[in-house]
Chains A and B, each alone.
Chain A
């Protein structure tokens, strides 16, 4: 019975989404999803938890406690990457690099400033997060670059790290096609981010 209810909810959400795409433009549907996502989640998850007998308030505060640790844990990484990035940027080396690379990258609508983040992303999550924060600070969160790096950060992963941890944990040494497949997917994520960012915010 409960499973059926879940299916009905899922299909009605999907139906609504398809109807929205049929009626309105891609851009406005994207905006509506972005606006509604958080309100929906803060209603659905606690409500579901409540009906499942979870002490929602207490469990929430229990989870929220970790927020401070997560934020504090990234400070050393941010300071480290900011040292390298700020030396690289305030010396003018970043301008030089993006000037050299921009003829290639501007063809797909990617500003040269974003290249260091795209290169860092598969290697180090905190490193890429640092570069993203720096670009957001320099160009503004609501600028084209600010939006693009946010989308790129969200749609790619720390591939090399995950590969090392997962395969390392079971002692697999020959990873066969895992790395090429994952890296191609990352590249597809980066290109898709640029295209989508241009359609919606360009």
Chain B
């Protein structure tokens, strides 16, 4: 998917520049051509300028990423995630009614979502994978997602973000006078998206179209097709 988009953007860009090189002007008196190489040389300059900018931006990001990852390492080592997880437990038990409260899946789910909230990035993906594996032990049909897995998925892609560190870093590297001014708006926007995610999963999981039974039938049909 990304391969096609990437290539298409380059082709469209060069194509548009090439057409503009013809210098077509349409007037009531007729169509005039004034060929020029200007658009294509602009394109070349633009490409080189941005390649340079990519490195400048990444280097500008080093300091803030180091700062943030240092702070987050302390949060990780001190067990702060466990504390937050404990606080979230009563809410989570209600959000995941299919997981028994004492099942290991509940613990790993809470840990993973807490880490996502803190913006732990690299640390939250393994926790998410662990949560998914634990939830899978409760799954009766191993190749069909459970309600709990779908809810978890929607929650982790819409999760409330407290500090969007990378974005603050990029804003700072690009010379913003107030790189952190977006923190509160991001919190509010993610609260909205998380609420929508929850409502959507609760509505969709009741729809006849998304019932587990449908997928069992589809599966057997596909299998018979393959056999014949």
Interface residues of A (CB under 8 A from B): 3, 6-7, 10, 29-31, 33-35, 37-38, 41-42, 45-46, 48-49, 52, 54, 56, 59-68, 70-72, 74-75, 78-93, 96, 120, 123-124, 127, 129-130, 132-134, 136-137, 140-142, 146-147, 150-160, 162-163, 165-167, 169-178, 180-182, 184-186, 188-189, 192-193, 196-197, 200
Known: A130-B54, A174-B144, A189-B189. 20 other contacts (CB 8 A): A38-B163, A38-B183, A48-B78, A52-B78, A60-B70, A63-B70, A67-B69, A87-B14, A87-B43, A93-B13, A136-B170, A141-B171, A142-B178, A147-B185, A150-B167, A150-B186, A155-B161, A156-B193, A157-B156, A157-B157
Interface residues of B (CB under 8 A from A): 1-2, 5-6, 9-10, 12-17, 20, 39, 42-43, 45-47, 49-51, 53-55, 57-59, 61-80, 83, 86-87, 122, 125, 128-129, 132-133, 136, 139, 142-145, 149-150, 153-154, 156-159, 161-164, 166-167, 170-171, 174-190, 192-197, 200-201, 204-205, 207, 210, 212, 215, 218-219
Once the chains bind, are A192 and B150 in contact (CB under 8 Å)? no
Expressed in whole angstroms, the Cα–Cα distance for A10 and B87 within the complex equals 9
A181/B200 contact (C-beta < 8 A), A70-B69, A129-B166, A170-B133 known: yes
A-B contact pairs, 6 of them (CB 8 A): A67-B65, A78-B58, A93-B15, A127-B5, A177-B200, A186-B157
Question: Which residues of chain B are near A88, meaning CB under 8 Å?
Answer: 9-10, 12-13
Q: How far is the CB of B138 from chain A (nearest CB, A)?
A: 12
A63/B143 contact (C-beta < 8 A), A88-B13, A192-B188 known: no
A162/B189 contact (C-beta < 8 A), A71-B58, A87-B47, A176-B215 known: no
Expressed in whole angstroms, the Cα–Cα distance for A135 and B142 within the complex equals 44
Question: Which residues of chain B are near A87, meaning CB under 8 Å?
Answer: 9-10, 13-14, 17, 43, 46-47
Once the chains bind, are B181 and A31 in contact (CB under 8 Å)? yes
Once the chains bind, are B185 and A41 in contact (CB under 8 Å)? no
Which residue on B lies nearest to A184, using beta carbons?
B200
Expressed in whole angstroms, the Cα–Cα distance for A176 and B63 within the complex equals 42
Expressed in whole angstroms, the Cα–Cα distance for A63 and B183 within the complex equals 22
Q: How far is the CB of B71 from chain A (nearest CB, A)?
A: 5
Expressed in whole angstroms, the Cα–Cα distance for A155 and B183 within the complex equals 10
A82/B50 contact (C-beta < 8 A), A67-B62, A90-B45, A136-B174 known: yes
Once the chains bind, are B158 and A186 in contact (CB under 8 Å)? yes
Expressed in whole angstroms, the Cα–Cα distance for A29 and B66 within the complex equals 29
